[in-house]
Amino acid sequence: MEYELTLFDGSKATISLKAEKEKSLEIINPEEAWRKCEAQIQVYEGCNYEYEIEGFHLSEEFGVVKNSAFHSSSGRIIPGNLVGTLSIDILSDSENEKAGVLKLEVRSRKIEYREDYQEMLRFIADRCNELILKSNSPVEQLVGPVFIDVSRGLYQRFAFLRSILDSQEFKDAVNRVLSAPVSTWSDVESARDIRNVRRFDRAMVRQIASGGKREALPSSHPLAQKMNSVPSMITGRQKVTTVDTPENRFVKHALNSFLNLCSVVRERAGEDHRLFDESSVLINTLDQWLSNSLFRELGMPESIPLNSPVLQRKEGYREILKVWLMHDLASRVCWEGGENVYGGGKKNIAVLYEYWVFFKLLDIVQEVFSVEPKDISSLISLDDSGLNLNLIQGRHVAIKGVYQAKNRIMNIELNYNRTFSMVDKYPDAGSWTKGLRPDYTLSIWPFGLDGEKGKQQAEEEENIVHIHFDAKYRVKEIKDLLGEEPEEGKPLPADTKDADLMKMHAYRDAIRRSGGSYVIFPGVKTSEGNTRIYRGFREIIPGLGAFPLNPSEADENSQDLAKFLSQVAQHMMNRVTQREKMAQKAYQTYSEEERDPLFAELPRAEDGSHDVIPDETWVLVCYYKNSQQLAWIEEKLLYNARAQGENALEELSPEAMSAKYILLYGGRGSAQKIYPLEKGGPVLFSAEKLKEKGYPGTPSVSHYLVYHIRDKDPVPEFKSLDFKIEQLGLRTGFRGDYKPYPVRLDVLLRNTEPLG
């Protein structure tokens, strides 16, 4: 494709462009380009282009152009992810001096370049307006010029304004006002021929007697007997309709306010700047509206009737009032983060998308958790320079609230750009590998653990859950996120696309107490579905996933994300989830001090799937008097211990009740054997019942605690061990006491030595 350029000296040059991807290069006509404030040459982000321009070459100053090493007049143009008008200097081959400028309009491939970009700006501007109106500081609406500090984000305010004025909604609102303006009745004084007056008021009657320019009455006139003359003209008042109302005056004032801002932008921009064209288009539109005959009849407003039913309810007027309030308040707000979006005329749509997702996510969190975040006003701050929107990449913002449902209350906190620093000490909050900073983190923990100290306690006790989200503008479809499945025997492609997925795994696995990590991308719903949720186990969290959220389909897209967060909310209210059980287990396990290593052979647990856990397994250490008693125990698979009355079971310790093994020992040199016990703990036998079982000897008390042994054979893993009973009794406080006592299996195994 060829395009003719006009250089600074008026001469012409032809540039040849070739796209590496089909349907990624076009040239629009000059009228359309001027109307849309875009360059005629339209290219797409993420696509590369080859160029050739005889006698000239393009500047490599901004890293967008890579000139050929073989031919000085050719090379490649690599737009990258920035969208907007790209201006590239044209340099002469002979003197390497600037000879002209090549302008390319870099369009987005993932969202509707014109409509969605403006929609995101409108949405953020609307949220700024709401935030200011919700803030605690009083806001006064004064009629008069707003003196714009051009050093504080002039283009930011212009971008907000243009996004609104370009909308069809606003254009329809103005047209409604122009076609059907409100009017009112007004009294107008006028001089009329006295012969044409049909009804006289008191003022007119007085003029009959005192008015000038009088005419004589004929003698036949009924009034001739009272007076000899009457005035020929008389001044009276009559009702007429007028459009010079406070509401119409306000509309004129609002349009003039917009015109003033656009004029300042054009004056500051210069004719060779994109802003000049953008502001000129708006100025032309506003001039056309203000030239309407309606506004010629109107005076200047003295005040704005904000409580007027017309401004608040009538179609056209209410939309203009809303826009003016938004513009007036936004003109007082400085958004430092906005410079990353459209500073200097550029359009970093990836950064804008990140900010837009924050406000959408905030809306969804407010709706799902039925909370009005108490810190939402902190997004707007007041300093010596005025109002500031505290939303900028790299700066942490936290919005907190309280959620109550199903007899449980939880703290909710939505974080933007929270940094989880690297910490190598458990149980501190953070990442145990390296510092990580997700775009957004939703943290949930029990109410009552309030403030930073409470949140720190929740971290230490495993009572908090973090759910992370990242805005990935460059992802268009699920396959861009997941990449290709690896095939056995085949290497992965060099341009593997699963880096974003791996980053989600990093958030989930490295940041302590993370319940999940999810991508938000500007995709659209497809027949196959673009939403993916992967569950680590059975429950909604822990997990990974991705949600499409596109400005053009925001309401429909956000349903999937809202449904997911609703499931998370239900999950957090449930007190018997596996996640909560695991959290409690983790707290109990990790809060214990590290023990010395234990290298010992262990028996299998009852389900046979894994070994028993030594420090959670209790062994009942029991004494037998002689070989006859041992023989009875092994034959009947019963062990009896003296009980203190009929309530002995109630007084038994939990450890003695839950013992899984019994260690039988006699005097010095006697046999030591460990048997598995039946579940359920001991039962209470009377002395008579014990005798019925053939117990050798005479029972000495009325009741006995009797344990049931499960197997006739001792536990084989412990057959080769000799247990140091005396030393064990000394350590456990039972030395010389022949009562059964429980001991942890790991303690028991640390007091052994091999037989023989």
Identify the three-state secondary structure at position 313. helix
Which residue matches tokens 């409509």?
115
Write out the residue range of the structural domain in which residue 78 sits: 2-107
Identify the three-state secondary structure at position 465. strand
In a domain, 122, yes or no: no
CA distance 447 to 455: 10
In a domain, 670, yes or no: yes
Average pLDDT, consecutive stretches of 10 residues, N- to C-terminus, the chain (756 residues): 88 91 88 79 88 91 86 88 78 88 81 68 70 46 39 63 80 91 74 74 74 78 76 73 85 90 81 72 91 86 76 86 71 54 58 86 89 66 56 75 87 91 87 91 92 90 93 78 67 63 87 93 71 88 90 78 92 89 85 84 82 92 92 95 87 91 86 92 93 90 94 91 84 76 92 76
Residues 323 and 429 in one domain: no
In a domain, 203, yes or no: no
For residue 155, the model assigns a pLDDT of 66
Domain count along the chain: 4
Say if pTM beats, i.e. exceeds, 0.75: no
Query: In whole angstroms, how far apart are CA 676 and each of 52, 228, 536, 620?
Result: 87, 139, 36, 10
User: What beta strand segments (E) does 502-624 contain?
Assistant: 514-521, 532-535, 543-548, 618-623
In a domain, 501, yes or no: no
Residues 315 and 451 in one domain: no
Residues 326 and 360 in one domain: no
For residue 215, the model assigns a pLDDT of 80
Which residue matches tokens 């410079």?
339
Burial zone of 736 (CB within 10 Å; 0-12 exposed, 13-18 middle, 19+ buried)? exposed
Residues 370 and 323 in one domain: no
Residues 327 and 360 in one domain: no
Query: Of 680, 495, 707, which is closest to residue 606 (Cα–Cα)?
Result: 680
Query: In whole angstroms, how far apart are CA 612 and each of 155, 601, 715, 723, 732?
Result: 69, 10, 13, 19, 22
In a domain, 473, yes or no: yes
CATH of residue 676: 3.10.590
In a domain, 680, yes or no: yes
Residues 382 and 523 in one domain: yes
Residues 654 and 577 in one domain: no
For residue 136, the model assigns a pLDDT of 42
For residue 687, the model assigns a pLDDT of 92
Residues 324 and 365 in one domain: no
Residues 166 and 252 in one domain: yes
Residues 667 and 553 in one domain: no
At residue 667's C-alpha, the angle toward residues 663 and 672, to 5°, is: 30
For residue 142, the model assigns a pLDDT of 37
In a domain, 723, yes or no: yes
CA distance 638 to 634: 7
User: Per the structure block, which two tokens stand in for 695?
Assistant: 């117990």
In a domain, 193, yes or no: no
For residue 143, the model assigns a pLDDT of 42
Structural element, H or E, at residue 263: helix 246-269
- Mark which of 276, 298, 331 sits at the end of a domain: 331
Whether a cis peptide bond, with omega within 30° of 0, leads into 427 is: yes
Query: In whole angstroms, how far apart are CA 316 and each of 188, 309, 322, 694?
Result: 29, 12, 10, 101
Residue 247 CA, distance from chain mean position: 39
Residues 453 and 575 in one domain: yes
User: What beta strand segments (E) does 478-542 contain?
Assistant: 514-521, 532-535
Residues 91 and 174 in one domain: no
User: Per the structure block, which two tokens stand in for 655?
Assistant: 């450890």
